[in-house]
Amino acid sequence: MVAANGLVLPILGFASCIAFIYMSFGDFKLSYRRGPHLDFVTRNGTQFMVDGRPFYINGWNSFWFMDHSAEGDRKPRVSAMLQAGAKMGLTVCRTWAFNDGDYNALQISPGKFDERVFQALDHVIAEAGQHRVRLLLSLVNNLKAYGGKTQYVKWAWEEGIGMSSSNDSFFYDPTIKKYFKNYIKTMLTRKNTITGIEYRNDPTIFGWELINEPRCMTDPSGDTLQTWIEEMSRFVKSIDKKHLLTVGLEGFYGPKNPKRLTVNPEDWASTLGSDFIRNSKVPEIDFASVHVYPDHWIQNQGFEEKLAFVQKWMQSHIEDGHYELNKPVFFTEYGFSNLNKDFRPDQRDRFYKTVLDIVYKSAKKNRAGAGALVWQLFIEGMDEFNDDFGIVLWERPSTYRFVTEQSCRLARLQRNPQPNKYLKELCLQRE
């Protein structure tokens, strides 16, 4: 018995240690798999829907999630930002699902991926699900940041198979289109190493955005970009029929649209090869996207004139969603620069409030204005990643107050479909 007890005790001790590790870490992984239930966001005409009820969105942009999740010392910022967003009642975050050939690249070269970075994106999606925050994931950048279409063109050119060194050959070169389609397929069929769910089957993902702010300036007629949107949207839907899809437009009216003269910020906006109505009418595109940057788009006008532009710009697109497209219109970026001459924080407050009020009034009337995402939110200690639009929202109480009020008044309109626990508490405090 003494010898047996001497053997049993170490075994029991080892078993207890294993049980402790499992409870501490193994259950942590399982908690993701058993995370809060979310339904897919769908569309019924001009309305986003969740569980048969309208879904209006107050949310934000944090493009940096995947990049930060790829590094241990910065990874906690992702969870902190998602929790902060959830506590403000924000329900959708837009972030990059791309990084092509850059630092912490997801796609190192065409068809070659860094598994470490893919697992970082797995973490972002799993964490978002835990906080009941849905993600709008963008698939490539028109700009050079994080590689973008420039990197795709460079890859083809370096291999000696690119038709042109123009960045716009991204939209028509057969090899480059093949690169991008492979990227899309890899992304949509990715199995999350944390949740075990393929991305195309994960309702945490609100939807996909083909490209951030597409412009094809070598073809101002818009034909080249239109053909690309049609081809790529069909390809996405051939793989993933569950998620919503948008283009990623800024919202400019094309050269054949009469609104180019009366609504566009300035003449240059109709020469970029994009066309809000034409691009958004593509059958596979589920909702229209619009950006709102009056201070970058309009020169030599005062603040009041810029606010007047914002109202006209947003109302025009909401009307288009209702009468022309029969699709939701989602203002996926709105921002106000602190580099403006004579900038004052209260101007940014008024700009934010103008955007949020227009969305709320549209939602209240069951019109096409489906929501808005501020560009962009950070947590403390991220100044090196900030731009002239970024804000730590809770550092300015007045801004924080009316952003959270927007969360509550939209929640009341939609009778809180699948609210997070913070939204319930937040709105109870305001009743």
Q: How many CB atoms lie within 10 A of CB 92?
A: 25
Cβ(206)–Cβ(135) below 8 Å: yes
Sheet holding 134-138, edge to edge: 244-246, 205-209, 134-138, 92-96, 57-61, 369-374, 329-334, 288-292
Q: 209, 213, 250, 405: which is the annotated catalytic residue?
A: 213
Interatomic CA distance for residues 360 and 345, integer angstroms: 23
Non-local (6+) Cβ contacts of 167 within 8 A are: 149, 150, 153
Report the chain's C-alpha Rg in angstroms: 23
- CA 169/CA 164 separation, integer angstroms: 6
Answer yes or no: 333 catalytic. Answer: yes
| Chain length of the chain | 431
- The residue from 127, 209, 250, 333 that is catalytic is 333
DSSP of 102-158: STT-SEEETTEE-HHHHHHHHHHHHHHHHTT-EEEEE--BSSSTTSHHHHHHHHHHH
425 assigned to active site: no
In Å, what is the CA distance from 242 to each residue of 181, 194, 247? Answer: 18, 21, 16
Omega prior to 376 cis, within 30 of 0: yes
Counts of helices then strands in the chain (DSSP H, E): 15, 13
Residues annotated catalytic, as ranges: 213, 333
